[in-house]
Chains A and B, each alone.
Chain A
């Protein structure tokens, strides 16, 4: 069977070069090339599904060099899911930014394509140093994008992101250097075979996790994210919140579960996850800015996903709930950021205290936003419920205290969701305005589709559970990975 996965990275790179050379001359080209590149990447990903189902894992040795010496492309179940999510979210980001970005569009789309190249590379690569290079590609385009508005807050967030980000990825590089010094290989499968379980592995693992936690904005490495989301276009905020976190969580899964097989690591992941969800929720409760609140809530939700990964090290069903929660969170984040664009463009600000009383202007929009906030909390019959419920049940038998904390965090989530909904939609401090809420057609379609998905996944959670169960079945076998890459 033909291997489509390896064409995605060159294709995205080529589209970035086309946009940067021709984009400022032919204005329509920016958007069209982005859409075509992302759509065809999505199609290539979906075309490789039969291969994944047949063989259990997609392996491609780049330029024919065999595994320990060449670079391997390896995509398992979760990798396939993450690739699809990157392209779907990329399409949504492209559609939001079509209306949001008014000037210097070719720069935005070029950097956005480079950002996607980095994320795709991080997902599919089977080589640690190659992973570092792709991490730097995506981080660097994110650094430049985070100063896109060219005003005071944008530059401040950008310089903070640059210094924190490159500091953490330098720490990641020390981890790679130590692993190479200890085992003499950079290939993940080869490393997996050569690793001797022991005390000394912990130091490189901690260094590598620092870099990954920074990329995924896990507390206490999260400080750059709310600033970047606040002072930049909502479309870039969606890209930073949804896909970057998903990719780095997948990388954590890859390193901790597949490469190191560090099952004793579950306790540490759970501590970090509890800290992340608690700090994220408490900070979201105290925000005045809509985008910043959404950013903190995304941090809090990524804590839940990490919690699932930590539980999954002990009981495989934790991975299932984590993946299901990842899917739900990405959907909810997409709805929240599309709404944030519409709202902040209506009020010309993203400060929530200057908003109010638009619930009558577009009721379907109001319902969509409310459903998204409620599913963030995990209300029954909405899509966040099933995954959170499974997390509670699994953790009740393993770590009762963790279950208690995650339940408290859900209550805090309900509190800030209610506050945001009241401030934006119900607060009658402002007079009722006759000017209708402007929602472009593409945004209407996206919101309607996402609303239907949220409701269907909420009322029939078995669909999502079966999907995540199948995905996990395709990616838990360490032997398959080892055999696939090295044979």
Chain B
């Protein structure tokens, strides 16, 4: 199960990198960036995951076997932070893309090259 999830994370990242680098549409690039980050988030989540793990909350019942059986809570906190960052970057990128479209009347990144050299 965990191995399959690792493969899924790597496939997500590869798809994201492919979309960011090769697509010429600005919106598609931003979507690719999002897929890439989602792959990283999945990767982070799997790092802290355990087969048949319990939620990382200490109670009187589970304090004996808590350390060996609970999943790692830290990556989840990291992913939460990272999602917020990713959301704001995506929002900013989309706003800037609309403003670029207003000025250039295109979202083809090969035609937005007035600043070459």
Contact = CB atoms under 8 A, between A and B. Distances in A.
A and B touch in the complex (CB under 8 A): yes
Contacts of A170: 33, 36-37, 40
A155 B43 contact: no
A143 interface: yes
B40 A177 contact: yes
A158 B112 CA distance: 12
B106 to A, nearest CB: 11
A362 B41 CA distance: 57
A167 interface: yes
B13 A174 contact: yes
Contacts of A159: 26, 93, 96-97, 100, 112
Contacts of B115: 153, 156-157, 160, 226-227, 230-231
Interface string B45-79: 00100000000000000000000000000110010
A155 B20 contact: no
A144 interface: yes
A167 B33 contact: yes
27 contacts: A136-B85, A140-B92, A143-B92, A152-B104, A153-B115, A155-B99, A155-B100, A156-B112, A156-B115, A157-B115, A158-B96, A159-B96, A159-B97, A162-B92, A162-B93, A162-B96, A163-B30, A167-B36, A170-B33, A170-B36, A170-B40, A174-B13, A177-B47, A177-B78, A180-B44, A226-B115, A287-B117
A278 to B, nearest CB: 17
Given A136-B85, A167-B20, A174-B40, 15 more contacts: A133-B85, A155-B104, A156-B100, A156-B114, A156-B115, A159-B97, A162-B89, A163-B30, A166-B89, A173-B82, A177-B75, A180-B74, A227-B115, A230-B115, A231-B115
Contacts of B92: 140, 143-144, 162
B81 interface: yes
Nearest to A283: B117
A197 interface: no
Contact of A140 (B13, B75, B88): B88
A174 B16 CA distance: 13
B40 A129 contact: no
B47 A163 contact: no
Interface string A132-165: 0100100010011001001111011111101100
Interface residues of B, number: 32
Contacts of B112: 156, 159
Given A143-B92, A155-B100, A174-B13, A180 B82 contact: no
B48 to A, nearest CB: 8
Interface of A: 129, 133, 136, 140, 143-144, 147, 150-153, 155-160, 162-163, 166-167, 170, 173-174, 177, 180-181, 186, 226-227, 230-231, 283, 286-287
A297 to B, nearest CB: 15
B96 A177 contact: no
Interface of B: 13, 20, 26, 29-30, 33, 36-37, 40, 43-44, 47, 74-75, 78, 81-82, 85, 88-89, 92-93, 96-97, 99-100, 103-104, 112, 114-115, 117
Which of A147, A156, A159 counts the most chain B CB atoms within 10 A? A159
Contacts of A173: 37, 40, 82
Nearest to B36: A170
B18 to A, nearest CB: 12
A151 B115 CA distance: 13
Contacts of A152: 103-104, 114
B84 to A, nearest CB: 10
Nearest to B77: A129
B33 A133 contact: no
Contacts of A230: 115
Contacts of B13: 174
B83 to A, nearest CB: 11
A262 to B, nearest CB: 23
A294 B29 CA distance: 30
Nearest to B45: A177
A283 to B, nearest CB: 8
Contact of B96 (A151, A153, A155, A180): A155
A177 B33 contact: no
Contacts of B82: 173
A286 B104 CA distance: 27
Contacts of B104: 152, 155-156
* Residue with the greatest number of chain A CB neighbours at <10 A, chosen from B20, B30, B74, B96: B96
Contact of A155 (B36, B47, B85, B103): B103
Contacts of B26: 159
A177 B49 CA distance: 13
A230 B45 CA distance: 41
Contacts of A174: 13, 40, 43
A129 B114 contact: no
Given A157-B115, A159-B112, A147 B75 contact: no
Contacts of B89: 136, 140, 143, 162, 166
